[in-house]
Amino acid sequence: MNQVSMNPDRRRLLRHGLAAAITALAGCGGGSDASSPLGAAPAPAPTPTPPPAPTPPPAPDTWNPSVPPLLVGTNSTFNLSSTLPASIAKGGRFGLDSAGASLPAGMTLSSGGVLAVGSASIGTVTGVIFTYETP
């Protein structure tokens, strides 16, 4: 068996080099941890939960009157105020929305909500959009 003798300076250099390598590995997290794979970055901090959105205001009461067919030639009338929801104040002004169809020729609507056939040859109000302004 051959024995190799090492120079004491060389031995000291190797010991210091090994100690420096171990210290460097320990200082930079070079050891392995069973809970995280080697080289994996730490998990980012969770982002805070944003505050909830403000509650929208309650929707206004929808008013969609159901107007029965009016008899042509009898000057029949229908009072739209009877179709208002109970939560809406009475005594306001009725009107027509220009986005809807016009009343048939000869039919009228008073600001008080009375719909009259008058001389109209049609007794229905299909496509007409009625409006109401509260007092």
Summary mean pLDDT of the chain? 77
Residue 112: closest CA among 72, 78, 86, 71: 78
Tell me, what's the pLDDT at 4? 47
Tell me, what's the pLDDT at 12? 61
CB 120 within 8 A of CB 108: no
- Is the dihedral angle over the CA atoms 90, 93, 98, 103 positive or is it negative? positive
Average pLDDT over residues 73-81: 88
Tokens 């959009």 locate to 129
- Report the Cα–Cα distance between both ends of the chain, in Å, rounded: 116
In this predicted structure, the answer to whether residue 69 has a pLDDT above a threshold of 80 is yes
Least confident of 72-76, 92-96, 114-118: 72-76
Query: Each residue of 88-110: pLDDT tens digit?
Result: 889 999 999 999 999 999 999 99
Domain ranges within the chain, ordered by starting residue: 77-133
Neighbours of 130 (CB within 10 A): 20
Instruction: Give the three-class secondary structure for 14.
Output: helix
Least confident of 10-14, 97-101, 125-129: 10-14
